[in-house]
Chain A
Amino acid sequence: MNMAVYLSSALAAIRLNAMRSMLTALGVIIGVASVIVMSAIGSGARQEVEKSISRLGTNMLTVSPGSRRSGGAQGGAGTASPLSQEDMDALWQRVPSVTAITANLSANATLVYGNQNWATSVTGTNESFPVVRDWNVAQGRYFDAAEVARGAKIAVVGSTVARQLFGGGSVVGERVRIGGAPFEIIGVMETRGQAGGFRDQDDVVMIPISTARARFAGQDVSVPNQVGSILVKIDNGEDLALAQDEIANVLRHRRRIRPGAQDDFRIRNVAEIVQARTAAQRTLTWLLAATAAVSLIVGGIGIMNIMLVSVTERTREIGLRMAVGARRRDILAQFLTESIVLCIAGGIIGLGLGVAATYGISKLAGWPVLIDTTIILIGIGASALVGMVFGYIPARQAALLNPIDALRFE
């Protein structure tokens, strides 16, 4: 008996009980569909993260205050004394591989324009921000060094803020109130899109850091010209680790950290920042993958159950096949083929449902999705494997029937 015969006999048996076969395969259908959806969402998010890495540039470093150790107690991140304007100037002067540098000082504030208002994040930066972040102005202009020096009340908004506050109308030159003070909008940034699929990078307002320091941030008396974090762009082709060491040396000297003591600041590159963000996503993906695996296993148990029923129902048929010359391995192969075909058919239906659900989700929730061809093969392969593993026990039971008893079975 050859493969084509096994296949046609399996298909005939499945057709005979079409409804039951369909219900039996439901577990596998749902399992494969969820595998497809999970992985599509997972790889979509991953692709988005990779895009944002390449947008940020891999040659950017972030310096932020670390934890302070007082006595035996270790404080949390950001408990050490803040970084200052002077730290930034020192890095600019003493680290040769730094090509651009800017500082951030963020606060939450509400923008008011006429009867519209919009709560967002206000970031104080200097004129180098567009260069460091590789992020250009779409309309108008960015503020210059002189404006930063004198603390001008001017702002550059992200595209989300522009859309929310002004609708489709003109933005540049309009006056808004930020945290109660009047500001003039001088530019709109290019649209960046979602970062990692969840945070809107365009929902932001940039103002000169001196203005931000004066108006929004609580002053730490010990550090007069404080900044939140420092963003450094390293020359392309320079060794990032080396630059990181040089920056650390300058800061350790300035902050009077004794040799052997631990840094009270953190230097991170973009890859690390993104990794931290994707770790949570990866956990979620694994969780969803586990759910899919469980539903495949449950589906497999359903297949095993119905195949056992089928073997019992068809005992006489098995006896007859043995009487006309079927060997044990013929019977084994017949029932194994049947359960594998059933599972693969379920897998294909699941695949269709999964692809449909994926596009539904991406339309409704606006999440980025990506269906990988390998995951389609994995889905089909997994269902074939389920058919093989869970079909084996029933098939073996059929093959080991005694032909005499099977023929007399009522």
Chain B
Amino acid sequence: MTEAEILSRPVATKTDQAVVSCHDVRKTYAMGEQSLEVLKGVSFDIWPGEFVAIMGPSGSGKSTLLNLIGALDGPTSGALQIDGTDISNLESDALAHLRNRVIGFVFQQFNLLRRTSALENVKLPLLYTTHHPRHPDEMAEQRLNEVGLGDRLDHTPSQLSGGQQQRVAIARALVNNPRLILADEPTGALDTKTSNDIMELFTKLHAQGMTIIMVTHEPDIAEYASRLLRFRDGLLVEDIEQQPRKIAP
């Protein structure tokens, strides 16, 4: 699929199409002579509006899966569709375009640009959109308002608390109207109180219809999700729908 075709694809949600569709996805890493199969045939679909928690011990393949869903890497075999696009054979430019328009990343270590204001950090993905937005400042400011940092636009990461930094990162993930938020241990570097605040923000986004996929190893954080995928040894071992944890009043 060319970049032009991706661009011409309608952005509006099609409820009959899975946001992520894995079919017998395998990933093998060559380690010198030996090869290591990290994902051994994984199949599942994630539908629009789902809040999915991915759990599993280290080495279970959940990070590798997250890289694949994040279009940072392609599968060794199997079919992997992100928002209807098969990423198996995409060029690196087309993958970059997908990451820019379809996916919003949230990282454990926030990954904000140091000595750069919150507003500039949120605007970062807009720099790489192929059609230049007309009002990038307004878009970024609106997102920062949504995460409750409307009064911190000029603050640099070092002037913000960990929770505030993660909110800036979430605003950055949202700025390009993605189809999917991909969060890699988003509360891993935060204390319990702040973690719950961040999860409340995710719950709010979920209530607005955003699809969220979150890797975590903390069971009480996973409770906020509407669906739980559990991995072990490169295989999906559990896939359950659950009642998301209610936000404390």
B72 within 8 A of A: yes
Q: Is A330 an interface residue (CB 8 A)?
A: yes
For chain A, the bracket of interface size reads 20 to 34
Cβ-based interface call for B115 (8 A): yes
**Can you show 30 pairs from A to B with CB atoms below 8 A apart?**
A1-B127, A1-B128, A2-B132, A317-B113, A319-B111, A320-B107, A320-B111, A320-B113, A323-B105, A324-B99, A324-B105, A324-B124, A324-B128, A325-B97, A325-B99, A325-B100, A325-B128, A325-B129, A325-B176, A327-B92, A327-B93, A327-B96, A327-B97, A327-B128, A328-B92, A328-B96, A329-B93, A404-B73, A407-B72, A407-B111
- Size class of B's contact patch? 20 to 34
By the criterion CB–CB under 8 Å, are A16 and B128 in contact? Answer: no
Closest to A399 in B: B92
- A324 in contact with B101 given A2-B132, A16-B115 (CB within 8 Å): no
**A344 located at the interface, meaning its Cβ lies under 8 Å from any Cβ of chain B in the complex:** no
The answer on a CB contact under 8 Å between B72 and A316 is no
With A2-B132, A407-B107, A407-B111 in contact, do A321 and B124 touch (Cβ < 8 Å)? yes
* Contact residues in B for A325 (Cβ distance below 8 Å): 96-97, 99-101, 125, 128-129, 176
Contacts of B167 in A (CB 8 A): none
**For residue A316, which residues in chain B have a CB less than 8 angstroms away from its CB?**
111
Shortest distance between the CB of B172 and any CB in chain A (Å): 7
Known: A326-B128, A327-B96, A328-B96. 13 other contacts (CB 8 A): A316-B111, A320-B107, A320-B124, A322-B99, A323-B99, A324-B100, A325-B97, A325-B99, A325-B101, A325-B129, A327-B93, A404-B73, A407-B111
Q: Residue A323 contacts which of B70, B101, B132 (CB distance < 8 angstroms)?
A: B70
A residues in contact with B72, CB < 8 Å:
322-323, 403-404, 407
The distance in angstroms between the C-alpha atoms of A330 and B129, with both chains bound, is: 11
From residue 132 to 184 of chain B, which have CB atoms closer than 8 A to chain A? Answer: 132, 172, 176
CA distance A403 to B92 in the complex (A): 11
Using CB atoms, name the residue of chain B closest to A12. Answer: B116
Q: Which residues of A contact B107 (CB under 8 A)?
A: 320, 407
- In the bound assembly, the distance between CA atoms of A324 and B127 in angstroms comes to 9
Contact with B along A327-348 (1 / 0, CB 8 A): 1111000000000000000000
